Chains A and B, each alone.
Chain A
Amino acid sequence: MRKRLIVIGAGMATGRVLERLFEAGDDYDVTLFNAEPRGNYDRIMLSPVLAGEKLFEDIVTHDSGWYESHGVTCRFGEKVVQIDRVAKTVTAENGDLLSYDKLLFGTGSNPFMIPLPGHELDGVIAYRDFEDTERMMAMSEGSKCVVIGGGLLGLEAAAGMAARGVDVTVVHLMGHLMERQLDEAAGYLLRKALVDKGITVICQANSKEILGEDGKVRALLLDDGTELPCDLLVMAVGIRPNVALAQNAELRVGRGLVVNDQMVTSDPDILAVGECVEHRGVLFGLVAPLYDQAEVVARTLLGLDAVFEQRELSTKLKVTGCDLFSAGDFADGEGRESIVFRDPSRGIYRRLVIEGTRVVGAVMYGDTSDSGWFYGLIKSNADIAEMRDTLIFGPSYQGVTPPDPFPAVAASLLKSSSAGGNGLIKNENLERRAA
């Protein structure tokens, strides 16, 4: 009898798990629940959809034909409301009771909504799914939008709407944008790039209240009294693992649904993957570790050995057309030294953080072409003492023709071939003649 696998959530992580399972030819009967009324799509690519660069169809990763060919029972637009771990069943929204041999949580995360007064007004949204995207796409040219949150998601939303002619203001609590990925200088360049796109950016801004009219958002009030009128307010201040169902099922939950190195929860038949997961105390929001997790989940389901290892964190992103990269620890501190490249007119910035003879962090903005090499240096803890002077220029500047070691007089530093100890030189023929 084929084993039954129930997957809750059709996100990027569970999509990858299914691909790996089917590639291995395993004969799980898969039932795929998704709260959104659609299957797997590339959520990262919602931004180009918002910006009008892509259509939603372009970002669908698994279409109905794919599910069909792999015998996946799709229950899209349906939530799982209850889990009975003893009976090994789940209850669907419509009351259907389904048995499982293995259950995979891919419930993802919920956008965090700051509980400001007025946060329930119409026109206050998050930026999470296609519905949010459609809401933003519906904004007319010249209308006003405030985005709270100067992280990746907020800036994508802001840039996407600005590209559609919306008058966008970004409000950010911290001193510079994307402070977790960028240092202040890179954050400044990013801000400049956004301002050049017509976006207003306000940092160190504390939101106080969302003002409404007739149940609809009207403006954001900052605690310094500034009132920012808006027709739509997007909150993009962070995500929280979606663990409500797991909590109900009395699985072990910390900040997220706790898994071991095999991605198995406190129940040996229940696994979890993606943004809902907490592994060794860490939560995940970027796609690379999620894909790593998916590989492990698939192997575990196949009965193969697998261990999920957290990699050194590096972030390589494209935000509104600007390449940026960060890795390691780039905070200033005692014993920390920086090698910095700034090209303000071209909007390029690169900073390497050195501790002793090691690179411990890197931030790049505008050009991330050598990021992999720097990331490698951080991961391998390489000794860079010998190449410190040329390090920042990247791998193609290492170990090539050594620069002139001496200034302009180098040409006459030619060693004289025959100067003797007392300064007397002779040619052989003269010596022979004299002898």
Chain B
Amino acid sequence: MSVRTTCPYCGVGCGVLASSDGTIQGDPEHPANYGRLCSKGSALGETIDLDGRLLAPQIGGRRASWDDALDLVAERFSQAIAEHGPDSVAFYVSGQLLTEDYYVANKLMKGFIGSANIDTNSRLCMASSVAGHKRAFGTDTVPGTYADLEEADLIVLVGSNLAWCHPVLHQRIAAAKEARPAMRVVNVDPRRTATSELADLHLQIAPDGDIALFNGLLAHLADVEAIDLDYVTAHVNGCREAIDAARKSDPLESGLAAFDLQEFYRLWAGTKKVVTVYSQGVNQSSCGSDKVNAILNCHLATGRIGTPGSGPFSVTGQPNAMGGREVGGLANMLANHLDIENADHRDAVQGFWGSPTISAKPGLKAVDLFEACASGQIKALWVMSTNPAVSLPDADGVAEAIRAVPFVAVTDILERTDTGDLADVLLPATGWGEKDGTVTNSERRISRQRAFLPAPGEARPDWKIICDVAAHMGWEDAFDYAGPAEVFAEYLALSGATRDFGRDLDLSLFADVDYAKLIPTQWPQDDQRFFAKGGFYHPDGKAKMLPVVAPSQAAGTGLRLNTGRVRDQWHTMTRTGKSPRLGSHLAEPYVEIHPVDAGALGIGDADIVELSAGRAEGLFRALITPKVARGNLFAPMHWTRQRSSASWVNALVDVGTDPVSGQPALKAGQVQAQRFAASWYGFMASASSIETVAKYSAVARTKTGWQAELAGNDRPDWLELIKHLTSTTGTDASFVEDRQAGTIRIALTRGDTLQALFFAAPEPVALARAHAVSLIGTETGGLDALAGFPGAGQVAPGATVCACMSVGINTLRQAITDGATSVEALGACTGAGTSCGSCKPELKALLLEQTSPLAAE
């Protein structure tokens, strides 16, 4: 019996049909995905096991009762508030929380504790979009709907690797483009990504060149008289000033050639139905808010907003970033899209809550919050369902800051996370599939998450934990809910009570809905767009075009480090990291580096690269590719201290925040790079977990257990090393050693069963990894196991391309050699790309690589 719920990953918010046996299917009736799922969503069934779960509260690393843990949290928070005031405590919460969780957390902090020190990892995600929206529209409103992506004649993807980060939207665009080949897609990104495969034009922009690009566009629109004077006159302020400012920008500062700029500008100016989709490449910048406004300016100036097939479209990274924004779960918001600085708004909310107080000023935003932790201002901190010790810039500094706080509580589903490891109290939360609530996706659609599994151990839902703490702090009456439905009902009631303020967030449609049966529905109602006929939320009802200035492109001394995501991982891998299928796509932290830079630094394929910034250092596998521009690097942000020895990339990024939104510039690291002088490289596959004890370690789940990529600059005793890498005991070891060549292979068996394989060599180890992994747990022994690749008559599938169907690159290349000439043909003969379709861009690239050798590099 399957349950209708939603995916817990990105902001697309796909509907999922889930069963307690782990069967996962896309919900064909959900308007976000109509049955589609990406590789991450498809693998959700592999993430719901209880391995590593936190199943009971812990105090100081020891199991404790809920009562003791709640008492302690309440006591330490109350004590800090009593001694140092409400601003001495803070919550750092998550876009993974459900709206109900968020609502009670916000209510507790702002209405009862009396501080606005509640910020969220959404600050890292879309704070600049929120700021841009508010500056332009008067409120944080996403004007369009997903259907616009299908109706547009031109889609401009700015700073968005949609193919990997919002795969289902990417698929919807790809399907629309196939059905309507006249549709154009332009991809603006400093690096070439899987998304570029879909694009008619890839504009390899200089980092933070967006404002120059869009200011140039605005000036061009004015020049070619593409400004919608009627719309602007009726609904927009500041158009002239914005255009004047735009003319002062030099479009060439975007880093693009004049010809390409003209082509893009002509295309944009000449296409009425244009959607500009933007994401972290815009938001995670020291000028992110201005980038957003530069984009919004173009849409406002042309009136291309809120009509089918046109408008700006911020796609959020998290499943409930939008829900969090709606209930006010950010330090600079109040609740329900109301303003913290507005006394009328505060009075209304305080009155509704019947709360003893209400925070009158914005609290600390994420980066400032952890600086306040470091400085000693924060005496008690509660981190909920997020991992700031990995995800924030200067991640090691943040870890130190958390350690410096006298009392830290962490709520999570896992016992071990980089942040949980720093906590005084661990509180076990129910995870996806175990909890009930609502989420809002990027197109304002509220969907239910529904439980289909029992709560494991003593885990409780986040809203319940927050209410329990509130009760232990003495506010049980205000936090007495029988379930999430009652929280949601209160949220709706607050919305009703504040409707007179005339904000965009109108939930009246939901007032009479049966929470249990709530079907995915947009607010204020399905298919309603905003602003086609004005109706903005500034006092005069008009929008504001903002004059924005392109940042000067200061030349850094090192290489520019861009960070981001990979196709098959989510955030800090606490869930996707459990899935063997997902771990097989890109199983280690890597850095993309241009061939010229790599050559100058003496870095070869598969070398380990040491990146450093100040005191911070990190190790990453070199992926030499012209997809990044010279002087630029790219590294994924998923790896943690649990899964790597030295590869949590945000430790290397510490370059300030957007002054308006407080969003950190996570894509603008300045680093030095050099080849890591490894004396050995290794690979291990094991039935049991692998510790990150080597200088370079990257651990991933496999179908047969675990695997690790390893390297070191020492001369280890191999057997000693293996003892530290794995806790496996009672095994027999067999070896192949070529001491002069410096290669060693070790197999550990228990009885006849292969428990672990270890390979090391002075060069990056060449072996068929998937094959080696597949041998673990079998009775393959001796030389056949130690060879690390299949002998005659066997074919190694090669590195995984299609995670859903487990299809490797060798299998695909063979299929192409055997005559497959299209993505569909590859799917028919290998199964690749036939499930979630996230790998289709890679299949396409593979086909082009093999079938048109002249076009290949």
Interface on A for B, CB 8 Å cutoff?
Answer: 337-346, 348, 350, 354, 367, 388-390, 392-397, 400-419, 422-427, 429-430, 434
> Count the A-B residue pairs with Cβ separation under 8 angstroms: how many?
206
**Does B587 contact A408, Cβ atoms closer than 8 Å?**
yes
**Does A417 contact B196, Cβ atoms closer than 8 Å?**
no
B236 at the interface (CB under 8 A from A): no
Nearest CB of A to B386, in Å? 26
A-B complex: 5 closest residue pairs judged by Cβ atoms = A417-B848, A423-B204, A408-B587, A345-B732, A343-B734
Nearest CB of B to A423, in Å? 3
Q: Which of A346, A411, A429 contacts B586 (CB 8 A)?
A: A411
Question: Hey, what's the 0/1 contact readout for B746-784 against A, CB within 8 Å counting as 1?
Answer: 010100000000000100111111100000000001110
Q: Which of A341, A397, A424 contacts B789 (CB 8 A)?
A: A397
Binds A, one of B61-69, B115-123, B505-513, B621-629: B621-629
| Closest B residue, CB atoms, query A348 | B782
**Does B621 contact A408, Cβ atoms closer than 8 Å?**
yes
Known: A409-B621, A416-B845, A426-B201. A401 touches B184 (CB 8 A): no
Can you sample 5 A-B contacts with CB below 8 Å? A339-B737, A393-B791, A416-B196, A419-B857, A423-B204
**Does B799 contact A408, Cβ atoms closer than 8 Å?**
yes
For residue B200, which residues in chain A have a CB less than 8 angstroms away from its CB?
426-427, 429-430
B476 at the interface (CB under 8 A from A): no
Q: In the docked arrangement, what's the CA distance between A412 and B200, Å?
A: 21
B856 at the interface (CB under 8 A from A): yes
**Does B765 contact A407, Cβ atoms closer than 8 Å?**
yes
Q: Give residues 766-813 of B contacting A (CB, 8 Å).
A: 766-770, 781-783, 786-796, 798-801, 809-810
**Does A401 contact B795, Cβ atoms closer than 8 Å?**
yes
**Does B260 contact A339, Cβ atoms closer than 8 Å?**
no
For residue A411, which residues in chain B have a CB less than 8 angstroms away from its CB?
585-586, 799-801, 809, 842
**Does A409 contact B196, Cβ atoms closer than 8 Å?**
no
| Closest A residue, CB atoms, query B847 | A417
**Does A423 contact B790, Cβ atoms closer than 8 Å?**
no
B199 at the interface (CB under 8 A from A): yes
Nearest CB of A to B263, in Å? 6
**Does B800 contact A419, Cβ atoms closer than 8 Å?**
no
**Does B792 contact A419, Cβ atoms closer than 8 Å?**
no
B606 at the interface (CB under 8 A from A): yes
Nearest CB of A to B528, in Å? 34
**Does A397 contact B791, Cβ atoms closer than 8 Å?**
yes
**Does B767 contact A403, Cβ atoms closer than 8 Å?**
yes
B849 at the interface (CB under 8 A from A): yes
Q: In the docked arrangement, what's the CA distance between A392 and B800, Å?
A: 28
Known: A405-B766, A408-B700, A424-B203. A416 touches B740 (CB 8 A): no
For residue A397, which residues in chain B have a CB less than 8 angstroms away from its CB?
783, 787, 789, 791-792
Q: Give residues 691-712 of B contacting A (CB, 8 Å).
A: 698, 700, 709
**Does A416 contact B192, Cβ atoms closer than 8 Å?**
yes
**Does A390 contact B738, Cβ atoms closer than 8 Å?**
no
B736 at the interface (CB under 8 A from A): yes
| Closest B residue, CB atoms, query A421 | B626
For residue A417, which residues in chain B have a CB less than 8 angstroms away from its CB?
845, 848-849, 852, 855-856
For residue B265, which residues in chain A have a CB less than 8 angstroms away from its CB?
none
**Does A343 contact B781, Cβ atoms closer than 8 Å?**
yes
Q: In the docked arrangement, what's the CA distance between A348 and B788, Å?
A: 18
Nearest CB of A to B442, in Å? 26
Question: Hey, what's the 0/1 contact readout for B466-503 against A, CB within 8 Å counting as 1?
Answer: 00000000000000000000000000000000000000
Q: In the docked arrangement, what's the CA distance between A429 and B203, Å?
A: 16
Q: In the docked arrangement, what's the CA distance between A429 and B739, Å?
A: 58
**Does A401 contact B787, Cβ atoms closer than 8 Å?**
no
**Does A422 contact B257, Cβ atoms closer than 8 Å?**
yes
| Closest B residue, CB atoms, query A401 | B796
**Does A414 contact B845, Cβ atoms closer than 8 Å?**
yes
**Does B769 contact A407, Cβ atoms closer than 8 Å?**
yes
B202 at the interface (CB under 8 A from A): yes
Most buried by B among A348, A409, A412, A427: A409
**Does B257 contact A424, Cβ atoms closer than 8 Å?**
yes
Q: In the docked arrangement, what's the CA distance between A389 and B733, Å?
A: 20
Q: Which of A339, A367, A413 contacts B623 (CB 8 A)?
A: A413
B743 at the interface (CB under 8 A from A): yes
**Does B736 contact A415, Cβ atoms closer than 8 Å?**
no
For residue A394, which residues in chain B have a CB less than 8 angstroms away from its CB?
783
B82 at the interface (CB under 8 A from A): no
**Does A408 contact B698, Cβ atoms closer than 8 Å?**
yes
Q: Give residues 571-590 of B contacting A (CB, 8 Å).
A: 585-588, 590
**Does B739 contact A419, Cβ atoms closer than 8 Å?**
no
Known: A403-B788, A416-B845, A429-B200. A410 touches B621 (CB 8 A): no
For residue B516, which residues in chain A have a CB less than 8 angstroms away from its CB?
none
Q: In the docked arrangement, what's the CA distance between A427 and B844, Å?
A: 13
For residue B798, which residues in chain A have a CB less than 8 angstroms away from its CB?
404, 410
Known: A341-B783, A419-B192, A423-B626. A404 touches B846 (CB 8 A): no
Given contacts A392-B738, A404-B799, 12 further A-B contacts (CB under 8 A): A339-B741, A348-B782, A396-B791, A401-B790, A408-B586, A408-B621, A408-B769, A410-B798, A411-B799, A413-B605, A415-B845, A416-B192
Q: Which of B263, B768, B848 contacts A404 (CB 8 A)?
A: B768
Known: A392-B736, A405-B606, A427-B200. A413 touches B625 (CB 8 A): yes
For residue B231, which residues in chain A have a CB less than 8 angstroms away from its CB?
none
Known: A346-B782, A424-B202. A408 touches B766 (CB 8 A): no
| Closest B residue, CB atoms, query A410 | B799
**Does B736 contact A340, Cβ atoms closer than 8 Å?**
yes
**Does A404 contact B587, Cβ atoms closer than 8 Å?**
no
For residue A340, which residues in chain B have a CB less than 8 angstroms away from its CB?
735-739
B683 at the interface (CB under 8 A from A): yes
| Closest B residue, CB atoms, query A411 | B799
Q: Which of B260, B782, B787 contacts A424 (CB 8 A)?
A: B260
Q: In the docked arrangement, what's the CA distance between A131 and B700, Å?
A: 67
For residue A400, which residues in chain B have a CB less than 8 angstroms away from its CB?
789-792, 794
For residue B629, which residues in chain A have a CB less than 8 angstroms away from its CB?
423
For residue A345, which residues in chain B have a CB less than 8 angstroms away from its CB?
732, 734, 749
**Does A346 contact B783, Cβ atoms closer than 8 Å?**
no
Q: Give residues 172-203 of B contacting A (CB, 8 Å).
A: 181, 184, 192, 196, 199-203
For residue B848, which residues in chain A have a CB less than 8 angstroms away from its CB?
417-418
Q: In the docked arrangement, what's the CA distance between A389 and B745, Å?
A: 11
**Does A403 contact B590, Cβ atoms closer than 8 Å?**
no
Nearest CB of B to A270, in Å? 50
Q: Which of B181, B698, B789, B846 contacts A401 (CB 8 A)?
A: B789
For residue A410, which residues in chain B have a CB less than 8 angstroms away from its CB?
798-799, 809
Q: In the docked arrangement, what's the CA distance between A413 and B800, Å?
A: 12
Q: In the docked arrangement, what's the CA distance between A171 and B798, Å?
A: 54
